[in-house]
Structure 1
Amino acid sequence: MFFFLSKILDLVLLPTVWLLALLLAALVARPPRNQRRWLVAAAWLVLLGTNSALVNEALLAWERPPVPLADLPAQADAAVLLTGVTKGSKSPHDRVYLGPGADRFTNALWLYRAGRVRCIIVSGGSGAVFSSGPTEADEMATLLRLSGVPAADILLEKRSRNTRENALFTKQLLAAHPDIRSLVLVTSAFHQRRALGCFAKAGLRPIPFPADFRTVDRSLKPNYWLVPSPEALALWSLLVHELAGWVTYRAVGYL
């Protein structure tokens, strides 16, 4: 039930849905003065929502900062790679399609190839309400093998549908591998807070290794502050989704 309710909440919290609701309200509002109020609200949402500087500052405050390699142990036992970066609905289904979060995969691979982790645990089933075909963990494993990682160094957790289940099912997997003690958690920088909280609640203490940064360095250039950007609205959607997820997880005791 929680899984399905979370999908409904995702839809309700989309800024584009808010914008559509404001425009529909303006369309049916009477008298004309009320129409203007709804249109003004929609205009403010567009003005603020497409400002790159505002969303970048908000994300800079929320994202976990990059972790220098010097802060990692010489070699941890495993990197835990959280999925959520593939496009299972794209055809033909003869390859793996990666989305914006592919940096999670490349960072985990980099840690392995640099000798900073002995193996990679891929955690993730499918976050879709209705799904068929290979899990995201299977797809990530395919790419890891093609990148030269031996199958013996890849462990798969293929049941999880959300961050809480990532943590719970990874702990269950580790029960069969007592030699794996030190973990490096690889997920998007905006997702690290919630992921770390879930893993801590499950009794695991991984070292965070944020990836997939959606922020840029602050700039004094006019286009950073003044030029509207459609990508900014997408970033607000991402941040609102993650903040709502963190608050919800905290409220129900998952963190």
Structure 2
Amino acid sequence: MFFYVSQLFSFLIMPFTICLVLTGAGILFINRTWGKKLVLAGFLLSLFFSNSYLANQLMYSWEPPPKAFHTLPDYEIGIILTGVTNIEKTPKDRTYFNKGADRVTHAVQLYKMGKLKKILITGGLGFDPSDDISEAESLGDFMVWAGVKRSDLILETTARNTRENALFTEKLLKEEGLLEQQSSSFLLITSAFHMKRANACFAKTGLYPDTFPVDYYAAAPKLNFKTIFQPSINAILIWHILVKEWVGILIYKIAGYI
């Protein structure tokens, strides 16, 4: 129930939803003065949220900076959060990546460089599964194909959200007798925009891994005619990602998850 309430709240305050509601209400009551003002407000907000410079600058400030491979020490375990594949796509003879594949490909690179001795993948079937193959299993199969030894993979296949990723990972590490390692022996790998919440969830369980943000949305800010005056669908997408993440952090704090 908590999940569905949070998703509904996120949807209602999404920038594009707000613009549509304002514009739709304004058109419905266009013969009234305040109806025209609502249409204008919807239009102006659409211009604001589609401004690529503002959206990119905001995301650039939010995402932690990337870390160079060569600066990392060696880790016992790299912990990868899922949420990067289309688990409903068939046939199941391959892994279907969405954006966020960096979580996997960069982890494989680190493994082959000797920076990671083992890789733990955490992620189950989600809240409305259409298949019995978890995302962790699907990503594990890809990693084996890419050269990771199956004996070096640890799969957590039941988590449905970030809180459960942290809780079930801590439980699995304890069951495997791996919590004897220092937290600094673990490297948390997830998308840069999601790292703050993910890291806070792991800290709540008593794990304090080092972090390796990947899957960046922002580029180095550039102030020019295109970024200022040309509306961008990608800018609206960035706003949606950020708002959803901010709502997630707020709700997690209220619920005591972080």
Q: Secondary structure at the match of 2:109?
A: helix
Aligned residue pair count: 254
- Which of 176, 183, 197 lines up with 1:194 in the alignment? 197
Which residue type is aligned with residue 225 of structure 1?
I
| Alpha carbons of structure 1 residues 179 and 173: separation in structure 2 relative to 1, 3 Å | closer
- Which of 222, 225, 234 lines up with 1:222 in the alignment? 225
In structure 2, C-alpha distance between the alignment counterparts of 1:254 and 1:201, rounded to whole Å: 7
In structure 2, C-alpha distance between the alignment counterparts of 1:206 and 1:12, rounded to whole Å: 34
- 2:52 is matched with 52
- 2:79 is matched with 80
Any idea what the Cα deviations from partners look like across 1:184-207, whole Å, max 9, x if unmatched? 000000000000000000010100
Any idea what the Cα deviations from partners look like across 1:41-94, whole Å, max 9, x if unmatched? 111121011111111111112111112335422x10010000000012333443
- 1:32 is matched with 32
In structure 1, C-alpha distance between the alignment counterparts of 2:168 and 2:71, rounded to whole Å: 27
- 1:178 is matched with 177
1:91 maps onto 2:94 in alignment: no
Counterparts of residues 1-255 of structure 1 (less than 5 Å): 1-29=1-29, 31-73=31-73, 75-179=74-178, 181=181, 182-255=185-258
Any idea what the Cα deviations from partners look like across 1:206-237, whole Å, max 9, x if unmatched? 00100001000111332122211111111110
**Residues 84, 100 of structure 2: 8 Å contact kept:** yes
Identity of aligned residues (%): 37
In structure 2, C-alpha distance between the alignment counterparts of 1:128 and 1:111, rounded to whole Å: 31
**Residues 78, 183 of structure 1: 8 Å contact kept:** yes
In structure 1, C-alpha distance between the alignment counterparts of 2:28 and 2:223, rounded to whole Å: 42
Large movers: runs of 4+ above 4 Å: none
Using the TM superposition, give the Cα deviation of residue 6 of structure 1 relative to its aligned residue in structure 2, in angstroms: 2.4
| Alpha carbons of structure 1 residues 130 and 4: separation in structure 2 relative to 1, 3 Å | farther
| Alpha carbons of structure 1 residues 27 and 93: separation in structure 2 relative to 1, 3 Å | farther
**Residues 162, 201 of structure 2: 8 Å contact kept:** yes
**Residues 53, 223 of structure 2: 8 Å contact kept:** no
Using the TM superposition, give the Cα deviation of residue 138 of structure 1 relative to its aligned residue in structure 2, in angstroms: 0.9
Any idea what the Cα deviations from partners look like across 1:119-139, whole Å, max 9, x if unmatched? 100011133434433111011
Q: Secondary structure at the match of 1:137?
A: helix
In structure 1, C-alpha distance between the alignment counterparts of 2:240 and 2:67, rounded to whole Å: 25
Which residue type is aligned with residue 194 of structure 1?
R
Alignment gaps of 5+ in structure 1 = none
Which residue type is aligned with residue 2 of structure 2?
F
